[in-house]
Amino acid sequence: MKVAVFSTKSYDRQFLEAVNAGYRHDLVFFEPRLTRATASLAQGFPTVCVFVNDELDADAIALLAAGGTRLVATRSAGFNHIDLDAAERAGMAVVRVPAYSPHAVAEHTVALLLALARRIYRAYNRVHEGNFSLEGLLGLDICGKTVGIVGTGRIGAIVARIMHGFGCEILAHDVRPNPDCAECVRYVSLDELLARSDIVTLHCPLTPETHHLIDAGAVSRMKDGVLLLNTSRGPIIDSLAVIEGLKSGKIGYLGLDVYEEEEELFFQDLSDRIIQDDVFARLEVFPNVVITGHQAFFTHDAMTNIAETTLANIRDYETTGACPNLVATQKVAG
């Protein structure tokens, strides 16, 4: 199948081309994000392959449909960047990669946690400059702490098991509790989780219900000095509320792999430019905040799995008109 691959970085091309030797799709790589402004590049392509910061809103989908696109294959688990109702109206199928390596994301979450708890980012820079002072590096034990996990699907369940191994008490909140977590997790209301957890970590999808789930009210209900982690989707956190929480000391540590307005920032080298996003710039200067640029998924294993499943999804849909990884219009999963 002829496929227009958007948001292509060198690493996407590397993994997709290697795996495509076994599929022989006609892959054409485009660097730009897919938006309504770039959708015309897909003219004549029956399939577009997209990633998390592409914007498949109703206008972009109408343009794609007019150009002959019938299948959207996203190289991600989340699909909040695609207007599913518009896709359905346009007769366009959407396929995704439901699980490529939940371990990659769970392990990155724990990496952020440990970097914050032991100030690894500060220590690295100091030692590099020959400064061996311990002032400002005081850490905290993880063992014995209470960890609150919001969303115990594939990724949240692995975080639960890892943190259980650290000797933590695990509280969880989920609209559909996961029986696989029963051994190490106690399900509670979101309010109880926020009130009792020393560490809060977000692993639910972005939906209308979870947009700004962590707002000023939620921050005020958390323990003083809480360590907050978000490797799920940026808009689950209200950045301004979290900045106020950091300024007041309510939030003691913040680890982010995702950010509300990341589309204009992440996945590109902006080191020679002036960052125009003042909210992001404010977050960046706190000494107790670590931000990575949506890299939790980015392991060799996960990239291979993403390429494999994406190309298999396209083949399945092309040959049978069906695919086990078809996204239903009901926005129930993430």
Least gap, CB of 258 to ligand NAD (angstroms): 5
Q: Based on the shown chain and the rule CB under 6 A, indicate whether residue 173 belongs to the binding site for ligand NAD.
A: yes
Are the C-beta atoms of residues 27 and 19 closer than 8 Å to each other?
no
Q: Based on the shown chain and the rule CB under 6 A, indicate whether residue 209 belongs to the binding site for ligand NAD.
A: yes
Instruction: Tell me the CA distances in angstroms from 19 to 71, 99, 100, 306, one per residue in order.
Output: 20, 17, 14, 10
Reduce the DSSP state of residue 82 to 3 states and report it. Answer: strand
Q: Based on the shown chain and the rule CB under 6 A, indicate whether residue 334 belongs to the binding site for ligand NAD.
A: yes
Among 45, 54, 63, 78, which residue sits at the site for ligand NAD (rule: CB under 6 A)? 78
Buried b (16+ CB within 10 A) or exposed e, 242-267: bbebbeeebbbbbbbbbbbebbebbb
Among 296, 303, 306, 307, which residue sits at the site for ligand NAD (rule: CB under 6 A)? 296
Binding segment (CB under 6 A) for ligand NAD, from list 16-24, 152-160, 163-171, 269-277:
152-160
Among 33, 203, 223, 250, which residue sits at the site for ligand NAD (rule: CB under 6 A)? 203
Q: Going residue by residue from 82 to 111, which x/- string records binding to ligand NAD, judged by CB under 6 A?
A: -----------------x--x--x------
Q: Starting from the edge strand earliest in sequence, which strands make up the sheet with 169-173, in order?
A: 186-187, 169-173, 146-150, 199-202, 226-230, 251-256, 289-291
Least gap, CB of 304 to ligand NAD (angstroms): 15
Among 8, 193, 294, 312, which residue sits at the site for ligand NAD (rule: CB under 6 A)? 294
The reply to whether 233 belongs to the active site is yes
| Pairing label, strands 2-5, 26-29 | parallel
Q: Which is nearer to ligand NAD, 100 or 253 (CB)?
A: 100
Closest CA to 298 of 50, 105, 162: 105
Residue of minimal Cβ distance to ligand NAD: 153
Q: Based on the shown chain and the rule CB under 6 A, indicate whether residue 12 belongs to the binding site for ligand NAD.
A: no
Q: Based on the shown chain and the rule CB under 6 A, indicate whether residue 314 belongs to the binding site for ligand NAD.
A: no
- Name the burial class of residue 322, with classes exposed (0-12), middle (13-18) and buried (19+) by CB atoms within 10 angstroms of its CB: exposed
Closest CA to 15 of 66, 49, 43, 48: 49
Q: Which residues bind ligand NAD (CB under 6 A)?
A: 77-78, 99, 102, 105, 150-156, 173-176, 178, 203-207, 209-210, 231-233, 257-258, 294, 296-297, 333-334
